[in-house]
Amino acid sequence: MKVLVCEDDEMVLKMVEFKLEKEGYQVILAKDGKEAIEKIDSLRPDIIITDIMMPYLTGLEIVHKVRKQLNIKVPIIIVSSIGLEKTVLEAFQLGADDFITKPFSPNELSVRVKRLLMKSY
Amino acid sequence: MIDRKLQILVVEDDELDRLIIKKALKNSNINHDLHFAEDHESGKAATHNQEYDCIFLYYNLPGGTGLELLKEIRSAGNQSPIIIVTSQGDEKIAVEAMKNGANDYIPKNLLSGDGIAQSVRYMVNMKEQSGRQRELEMQLSTAQNQLKAVVANSPIILFAVNAQSEITLFEGKGLDELKIDKEKFLNKPLAEFSKEIPIQLEYFNQALAGKEVKIVEEWENKFFEIFYTSIRDNSNAIIGVIGIAADVTVHKRIQEQLEHAKQLAEDTAKIKENFLANMSHEIRTPMNGIIGLTRILMNTSLSEEQGGYLSSIKMCSDNLMVIIDDILDFSKIEAGKMTFEEVPFNLNESIKHAIELFQSKADEKNIQLVSDVDSKIPATITGDPTRLSQIINNLVSNAIKFTEKGEVRLSARVIEKTTEKAKIQFDVKDSGIGIPEKSLGSIFESFTQASSDTTRKFGGTGLGLTIVKKLVELQNGEITVKSNPGVGTCFSFSLEFSVKEVIKKAENTKIVDHDISQLRILIAEDNKINQLVVRKIFSDWKTTISFADNGEQAVQLAKSEHFDLILMDIQMPIMDGLTASKTIRTTLPEPFCSVPIMAMTAHATASEKQKCVDHGMNDHINKPFDPMDLKKKIIVLTQTANSTLKKVQSTHSESKATELKPNHTSNTAQFSNASIGQSAPATPNNEAVNHFLNAPKINLNYLKQIAEGNEAFIIEMIEMFLNKTPQAISEMNDHFKNKNWEEFKKIAHRIKPSFGYMGMSEIQNALSKVELMNDKELKAPEVDELLMEIASRTSLAYAQLRTELTSLK
């Protein structure tokens, strides 16, 4: 199972990578939205986790591009912050599957990942 | 060849005939003694109790026929072979004689040497064979008689069935008991009678297939244990089944009675256990009211007289609580229901606590209360701190009670230590009245005090030491006592603790001054007096509270209103607290489902606490609770300890204060405890600042929990934090100074989780707050102050993190 994680903070990235790798996933890291889209296109992950606030391309733009340009049905989890509920709604409308609020517990994230993967298979 | 000398009798009166037979025998080369009888009478006399190897009996005898003598000899039981000597052509007589017991006949004209020799040898062989046969028959009949006697007199039924399923044997006294007429069944197919006798075709068939079957069957209100086994012939082929049925009714009845008695005992134990659990609750609820209201009353203005009475009430209820605890603990131990926790704790703190608890009592009696703790004791040990405190408190309380002058000394030292375990010996030594030697042996027994006087003079249930001893022994420890009347007593006990877990627990900070007035708390509690107590406690803190009378109401309220915390009683009508918590967690939408929930329990056991966690509750507090403990737990659960943050909240985001989301990094109470140490003081005076500066800044428990032993990961994370945070903080401050609010907020957003990872959740929360402020709010001087605080705290944390790094490497 390949998980693409898009997040601009390297500590968060490291934490998520560590947790998911321990769970047995292959983790693909992307530090910004541009890198994320490139890697999604070339590596075709089984699930995407992306922060909303990111340089170059926001999380919302990533959702939009994945659904409309790349035309991939891969599950997407949006990482949002408190107070950005409107953005989350927007993300859902664009085709995101789930969201998790920052600061999130890696355990919760891994549960949500598992659940989505189970749904899509 | 016949070796021995044969004894031969000839019964004949005719001289000539005698001579002929004598000559013939002589010519036959048979070694023999020849005896003669000449008539019926002498023949009878000669055979009286005298066996011969062969008797020649002539048919015509004086005084009767040979046939008559033959009959008489046989009826006298003489089995000697008899040959009837007949005249030529007398075959009829010969046949008649043979019918009456003669073994052979010989016509007179064949009485030659060869003829007679053949006849005699034949007779001798025949006699020997029939002798052996008789012997065997005798043995067989003896054995059969014995077996018959055994079967007939045993309370069993012995049966045999042949391969054609026909009953071939049906014996035993057991048949009489069942009034079964065996004749009716013998030689009949088993299948015809399976309803009349307790022999089942099914088991018979299994036995016929070579299997041994043992079953118990009920038959006419009696129980039979029936054993079926196959019988085999010489070639080992199964030719039938033999069965033994024994009446086990008496055994069965006894067994049933035993089972019934056992069930009854178990039921009784269960009732007792439930009774205890209920009593625990029933007694505690009113006590909770009494103690709580007394505490409240003590804070009101009272006259000196009233204050005195109130102190007495408080002392009485405290004492009563101790007695209730004793009785419940004692019952729990007796019922084998005492369980122990395995949690990491600080032994120094436990001992400090015990000393603080009894300091005022010691002061009252003007005796010294001192502690002496071995520096080799690990900072954190794993065991049951509550039970340890119970043991120590009991012994210290006793020591103070029985000491009039001098000191009570509580000491702890390591007596054995491995990398995983430490055995610690605790001594409680006093300079009190001591215990007489004759009482020392029974001092740990229930309801025993050194003298009956003692009870009157010093009070107590007399259960304390019994409980202490059991608590020590149930944890595989030992307890001893030494005493010298008039000089003092020393109780010593040793317990083993695990030292593997090295979680550094943060120091408790003063929480009295923390303000929790902005919180909204829902209290689910059915007892009106307890509601009153809680209402009063919270009114002192000016916290907004709402009440629910049961679990269902609590769920309804939690669904419609926002609360920062729910205090949930466990035993409630309509819906209990566990169910209510689960309902809130699983059926309510965000954010209502993630409200922190704290259980209010009466004397919770480890398993009850686990149940609370399993039902989604975050923490628990024992009733009756100390208001300060409650406040401490509330602060931990709602993370509102930081005064500066609160100031920011109250001035700039009043409306959002209630939306403050608890930090759900972990749902377990244990983890939330770890963040106590991050609380900062309320008043920004110098002392508080110093305190603040000295307080621990970091907590790596969370990181360690995630790492699950992978130290390289922890090191990597810390190094990353040390490398990137200084620049990020300075960038963030630059943006702030330049009023680049958006950039400032972006950085705050980005770096916020890393503070969470290092256990600096107050900074994490602060960053969450500023991230949501609008430009106007950000211009407030408090934000400036907050940023400075964040910067200074972070730089202090670097040093601590570097120390951690060194120790990890």
What digits encode the pLDDT tens for the residues B455-481?
Answer: 545 556 667 888 899 899 999 999 999
Residue B806: band (very low, low, confident or very high) from pLDDT cuts 50, 70, 90: confident
pLDDT the model gives residue B760: 84
Q: Which domain holds residue A28?
A: 2-120
Tell me the sheet residues that pair with B229: B242
**How many distinct structural domains can be found in chain B?**
6
Summarize pLDDT for B692-746 with one digit per residue, the tens. 344 446 888 878 887 888 888 888 889 888 888 888 888 898 888 888 888 898 8
Q: Give dist(CA B308, CA B328) in Å, integer.
A: 30
Please indicate, yes or no, whether residues B687 and B782 belong to a single structural domain of this protein.
yes
pLDDT band at B643 (very low <50, low <70, confident <90, very high): very low
Structure tokens at B327: 């009785």
Least confident of A41-45, B257-261, B452-456: B452-456
Residue B702 maps to a domain:
yes
Which of B179, B214, B247 is the C-terminal boundary of a domain?
B247
Across the range B221-225, mean pLDDT stands at: 83
DSSP assignment letter at B435: -
The answer to whether the CB atoms of A103 and B665 lie below 8 A apart is yes
Q: Quick one: pLDDT at residue B604? A: 63
pLDDT averaged over chain B? 79
User: By mean pLDDT, which of B288-297, B374-383, B680-689, B797-806 is the weakest?
Assistant: B680-689
Q: Which residues does B57 contact at the CB level (< 8 Å), separation at least 6?
A: B11, B43, B66, B69, B70, B82, B83, B84, B85, B97, B102
Check residue B225 and give its pLDDT: 87
The per-residue pLDDT for B688 is 35
For B748, name the nearest residue in chain A, comparing CA atoms only.
A9
Give residue A43's pLDDT.
92
pLDDT for the residue A48:
94
Residue B430 has a pLDDT of: 92
Cα(B171)–Cα(B753) distance, rounded to whole angstroms? 90
CATH of the domain at A7: 3.40.50.2300
Domain that holds residue B208: 154-247
Across the interface, whether the CB atoms of A11 and B664 are under 8 A apart is answered no
Decide if A103 and B749 are in contact by the 8 Å CB cutoff: no
- Model confidence over B751-765: pLDDT tens digits? 888 888 888 888 888
Q: Cα separation of B149 and B172, whole Å?
A: 9
Q: Which amino acid is at B352?
A: K
pLDDT confidence of residue B356: 83
A23-52 residues touching B, CB cutoff 8 A: none
Structure confidence at residue B690 (pLDDT): 37
| Domain CATH code at residue B220 | 3.30.450.20
> pLDDT value at position A76?
93
Kindly state the average pLDDT of the residues B423-451. 79
Cα angle, residue B725 at apex, residues B721 and B727 outer, rounded to 5°: 145
Lowest mean pLDDT among B369-383, B415-429, B683-697: B683-697
Among the partner-chain residues A8, A14, A106, the one whose CB lies closest to the CB of B720 is A14
Q: Does residue B28 sit within a domain?
A: yes
Pair of tokens at residue B4: 């021995």
3-state secondary structure of A49: strand
pLDDT digits 0-9 by tens, B174-214: 777 777 777 777 888 877 776 677 677 788 888 888 888 88
For residue range B591-611, list pLDDT tens digits in order. 788 888 999 876 566 667 778
Q: Give the sign of the dihedral formed by CA A103, CA B700, CA B594, CA B639.
A: negative
- C-alpha to C-alpha distance for B476 and B494, rounded to whole angstroms: 9
> Looking at the structure, do residues B447 and B462 belong to the same domain, yes or no?
yes
**Selected residue with higher pLDDT from A43 and B191:** A43
Q: Is B67 domain-assigned?
A: yes
On whether both B130 and B13 belong to a single domain, the answer is yes
If you ran DSSP here, which 8-state letter would residue B419 be given? S
Confidence of residue B59 (pLDDT cuts 50, 70, 90): confident
Q: Which residue has the tokens 């409308």?
A: A93
User: What residues of chain A lie within 8 A of the CB of B751, using their CB?
Assistant: 9
Minimal C-alpha gap between A6 and chain B (Å)? 13
CATH of the domain at B300: 1.10.287.130
Query: Is residue B782 domain-shared with residue B670, that is, in the same domain?
Result: yes
Query: Is pLDDT of B662 > 60?
Result: no
pLDDT of residue B605: 65
Amino acid present at B506: A
Contact B754 A103 (CB under 8 A): no
Which residues in chain B are closer than 8 Å to A82, comparing Cβ atoms? 659, 661, 768, 772
B471 and B534 share a domain? Answer: no
- Among chain A residues, CA nearest to B718: A11
Query: Which residue among A53, A82, A106 sits closest to B746, beta carbon to beta carbon?
Result: A53
Among B498, B533, B562, identify where a domain stops: B498
Q: Give the span between the Cα atoms of A87 and A59, in whole angstroms.
A: 10
3-state secondary structure of B732: helix
Whether residue B431 is found in the same domain as residue B559? no
- B666 shares a domain with B612: no
Find, among B421, B412, B606, B390, the residue nearest to B497 by Cα.
B421
Q: Which of B283, B310, B330 delimits the end of a domain?
A: B330
Q: Does B373 score more than 50 pLDDT? A: yes
Residues of B with CB under 8 A from a CB of A: 659, 661, 663-666, 706-708, 710, 713, 716-717, 720-721, 724, 746, 749-754, 756-757, 764, 768, 771-772
ipTM of the complex: 0.76
Q: Does residue B42 form part of some domain?
A: yes
B485 and B423: one domain?
Answer: yes
Query: Which of B375, B314, B313, B310 lies closest to B347, judged by CA?
Result: B375
φ and ψ of B751, to 5 deg: -85, -10
- Res B645 pLDDT > 70: no
Per DSSP bridges, beta strands B597-601 and B565-569 are parallel
Whether residue A64 lies within 8 A of chain B, CB to CB, comes out as no
What per-residue confidence (pLDDT) applies to B506? Answer: 40
Q: Domain holding B77: CATH number? A: 3.40.50.2300
Q: Residue B589: its chain A contacts at CB < 8 A?
A: none
B489 in a structural domain: yes
* Domain identity same for B563 and B592: yes
Residue B451 lies in a domain: yes
Cα distances from B792 to residues A65, B648, B679, B692, B787, in angstroms, run 43, 18, 16, 11, 9
Please report how the helices B711-737 and B741-757 are oriented relative to each other, as an axis angle in degrees rounded to 10: 160
Asked if residue B624 and residue B665 are part of one domain, the reply reads: no
Q: Find tokens 């003896």 and name the residue.
A: B142
Question: In chain A, how many domains are there?
Answer: 1
pLDDT in tens, B485-542: 888 899 999 999 988 644 443 434 445 567 787 888 999 988 877 787 788 888 878 8
Q: What share of chain B is helix, strand, coil (3-state, %, to 5)?
A: 55, 20, 30
The beta-carbon neighbor of B724 closest among A10, A19, A106 is A10
Residue B62 has pLDDT above 80, yes or no: no
Which residues in A lie closer than 8 A to residue B757 (C-beta atoms)?
A: 11, 15
Q: Is B649 helix (H, G, I), strand (E, B) or coil?
A: helix
Q: Which residue of B has its CA nearest to A51?
A: B750
B769 CB neighbours in chain A (<8 A) are none
From CA B625, how far away is CA B627, in angstroms rounded?
Answer: 6
Q: Are residues B755 and B793 in the same domain?
A: yes
Q: Do B634 and B644 reside in the same domain of the chain?
A: no
Confidence check: pLDDT of A110 > 80: yes
Mean pLDDT for the stretch of residues B674-686: 35
